[in-house]
Amino acid sequence: MTEIKPDRTEGTISIAVFPQENEQYICQISSSLSDRPDEQSNFYGQTKEHALAIALEHLADEYREKAEESQNIDSLAVEISDFGEPINKYYHVIVHYEEISEAESKFEAVHNTMIGNTIVENARIAAIEIAPDIEIEPLERSGE
């Protein structure tokens, strides 16, 4: 089991979801983390779960970007061993893609999104270098 060591990020993230008069929801995230200014952000959704998902994805995206930038890795650099061989490293690659799709059904919306390479071409992709023994379970496609 991995030993947990405290770092310099301290504080809390508070999340509250409120119904609106238009039958939609607003999710407010407030943070007192030391690496984030004390701020409040609002995210809107069709349901409480939708608003919460949008808010959490925004927060995750912010931290993925910080994690990637903090490594300051030249994406084209290849480390070479003493024997002149390239050294393979491990990366946690996260692909995020969102769109608003107008379609006749949920199936059509998903199908139209999956056609071609639109997702990969337009996605935000983070590649974070990791240790080979880190305990990360990649997300799997749900419902299959």
Out of 3-7, 8-12, 18-22, 128-132, least confident range = 3-7
**Residue 3 confidence (pLDDT) above 70:** no
Q: Is residue 68 part of a domain?
A: no
Give the pLDDT confidence score for residue 137 in this predicted structure.
Answer: 83
* 128 plus 78 within the same structural domain: yes
pLDDT digits (tens, 9 = 90+) for 78-125: 999 999 999 999 999 988 888 888 999 999 988 888 886 677 788 888
* 77 plus 55 within the same structural domain: no
Q: Which has the closest alpha carbon to 50: 16, 20, 21, 27?
A: 27
Q: Is residue 103 part of a domain?
A: yes
Q: Which domain holds residue 41?
A: 12-59
Predicted model pTM: 0.75
* 126 plus 79 within the same structural domain: yes
Positive or negative, the CA dihedral 118, 124, 129, 132 is: negative
Q: Is residue 5 part of a domain?
A: no
- How far is 51 from 24, CA to CA, in rounded Å? 9
Q: Is residue 120 part of a domain?
A: yes
- If one counts the domains in the chain, the total is 2
